[in-house]
Amino acid sequence: MGKYFGTDGFRGEANVGLTVEHAYKVGRFLGWYYGKEHRAQIVIGKDTRRSSYMFEYSLAAGLTASGADAYLLHVTTTPSVSYVVRTEQFDCGIMISASHNPFYDNGIKIIAGSGRKMDAAVEEQIEAYIDEGVPEIPFALRENIGRTIDFAAGRNRYIGHLISIPTRSFKNMRVGLDCANGSASSVAKSVFDALGAETFVIHNEPDGTNINRECGSTHIESLQKFVKEKHLDCGFAYDGDADRCLAVDEDGELVDGDKIMFICGKYRNECGKLSDHTIVSTVMSNLGLKKACERDGMKTVQTQVGDKYVCENMMENGYDVGGEQSGHIIFMKHATTGDGILTSLMLMGVMLEKKRSLGSLAGEITLYPQLLKNVRVADKKQAQENKAVRAEVEKVAAALGSDGRILVRESGTEPLIRVMVEAETEELCETYVDQVIDVIRAQGLAVE
């Protein structure tokens, strides 16, 4: 990770860690970088945060000042930007979003022409330009100054793409959608309505400050209650920029990313379409996923946390299903990034093809109790490398043996250390997580 760019772009509190000057310089660099041999064309999408409009204009100003044309998708999802970049031959795309973070944070995600997240080498060059002004980038003059172009049609093409994927109508299916007052508000209901579902939507009235607030994939309780009250067949919850999805079955039970990967991967394997019988997951995925896959003739491959790394592994090895427990799921046949709405469509497809409820499909995988707690720290690297902390982690790992595991890692986007334990009981998880956190605090590493 660089100074500004983490596993999911440049993120920080608006006008504190991420300022309009930062956004302007990112635009200046990208307009110059892609415009060395032709007039660069770069597409911009944004989520519903109040500051997203401010950053949209800053980025557009930087791009056009460097001679690039900025195409505005307006409020849309991260995967729609990826789709448009890939299919409309843009030089790159920019998504303004802090994903599941609160409204006062924001972020800049850069998507390469392939539809994948930008290479770290280019992000390093952007950081050098932000801090050092290197290279010196000239301003475009006269007719070479770029234009800002309305491109709402690009989002509509993405919606059409999603509608074309399912092979069965959703007629007679009662589906709940939690749009997190974010990007999905502009897309999800249109897709499900067009496919014939009886669609019930909550949290689809963004006001600039209510994105992710007690709703969406990070607050699944709201959708669980809604599905039970309305007696729905299933429900899907998205995050702020709709690149992740968690599901709720007919009884209001959570179906997380691991279960979604298992359900969809197993169906593809039964159809002879799962490449090398393999699902790609991250080190955060539950042990239960690995055991269920082994039982049913499949394999799992693990990467470091981040759908960026999942995608890299999938493309290098030709795998077609992968993702994260948090709901970033990649179906390589249709997308090169996590796509929450696509994920919900794929899960609906399995339910309809197998004529089974989501609850019965999810019941085929048993997850180990798992507990994750975050500790805010002053220095993530120092906390990770502290001798006392490492010794306590090793002590817990030895106690768990083959019946569980502990994982301590840095957040890629926030000043947090994440402590996760899987064990046979919830009580053991709580005990071992707290043991490590107590040492972090005792060493004076935590910021309370």
- Express each pLDDT in 154-186 by its tens digit: 999 999 999 999 999 999 999 999 999 999 999
Q: What is the mean pLDDT of residues 199-205?
A: 98
Q: How would DSSP label each residue in 9-49? A: EEEEEBTTTB-HHHHHHHHHHHHHHTTSSS--EEEEEE-S-
Which residues 6+ apart lie within 8 Å of 328 measured at CB? 243, 244, 257, 307, 310, 338
Q: How confident is the model at residue 314, as a pLDDT?
A: 96
% of the chain surpassing 90 pLDDT: 90
Q: For the chain, what are the domain ranges?
A: 5-153, 165-362, 370-442
User: Fold identical between 5-153 and 165-362?
Assistant: yes
Q: Is the pLDDT of residue 414 over 90?
A: no
Q: How confident is the model at residue 334, as a pLDDT?
A: 95
- Express each pLDDT in 363-409 by its tens digit: 999 999 989 999 999 999 999 999 999 999 999 999 998 788 899 99
% of the chain surpassing 70 pLDDT: 100
- Express each pLDDT in 319-350 by its tens digit: 999 999 999 999 999 999 999 999 999 999 99
> In residues, how long is the chain?
448
Other CB atoms within a 10 A radius of the CB of residue 426 amount to 11
Would the annotation count 131 as a binding residue?
no
Q: What is the mean pLDDT of residues 278-294?
A: 93
Short-list 336, 443, 331, CA closest to 383: 443
Would the annotation count 99 as a binding residue?
yes
Active site residue ranges? 99
- Express each pLDDT in 107-132 by its tens digit: 999 999 888 888 889 999 999 999 99
Q: How confident is the model at residue 1, as a pLDDT?
A: 60
Classify burial at 97, counting beta carbons within 10 Å of its beta carbon; exposed 0-12, middle 13-18, buried 19 or more.
buried
What is the distance between the alpha carbons of residues 271 and 274, in angstroms, rounded to a whole number? 8
What CATH superfamily is the domain 165-362?
Alpha-D-Glucose-1,6-Bisphosphate, subunit A, domain 3 (3.40.120.10)
**Residues 125 and 29 sit within 8 Å (Cβ to Cβ):** yes
**Residues 138 and 31 sit within 8 Å (Cβ to Cβ):** no
Considering the domain 370-442 in this protein, what is its CATH number? 3.30.310.50
Residue 33 to residues 8, 89, 115, 273, 299, Cα–Cα distance (Å): 21, 16, 17, 39, 41
- Express each pLDDT in 346-355 by its tens digit: 999 999 999 9
Short-list 119, 103, 296, CA closest to 181: 103
Would the annotation count 241 as a binding residue?
yes
Q: Provide the CATH topology of domain 5-153.
A: Alpha-D-Glucose-1,6-Bisphosphate; Chain A, domain 3 (3.40.120)
- Express each pLDDT in 226-251 by its tens digit: 999 999 999 999 999 999 999 999 99
Torsion-angle region of 11 (φ positive above 0: left; ψ -120 to 50: alpha; else: beta): beta
**Residues 197 and 170 sit within 8 Å (Cβ to Cβ):** yes
- Express each pLDDT in 67-92 by its tens digit: 999 999 999 999 999 999 999 999 99
Pairing, β 41-46 against β 5-6? unpaired
Three-state SS annotation for 302-341: EECCCHHHHHHHHHHHCCCEEECCCCCEEECCCCCCCCHH
3-state DSSP helix/strand/coil % of the chain, to nearest 5: 45, 20, 35
What is the distance between the alpha carbons of residues 29 and 1, in angstroms, rounded to a whole number? 19
- Express each pLDDT in 208-225 by its tens digit: 999 999 999 999 999 999
Query: What mean pLDDT value characterizes the chain?
Result: 95
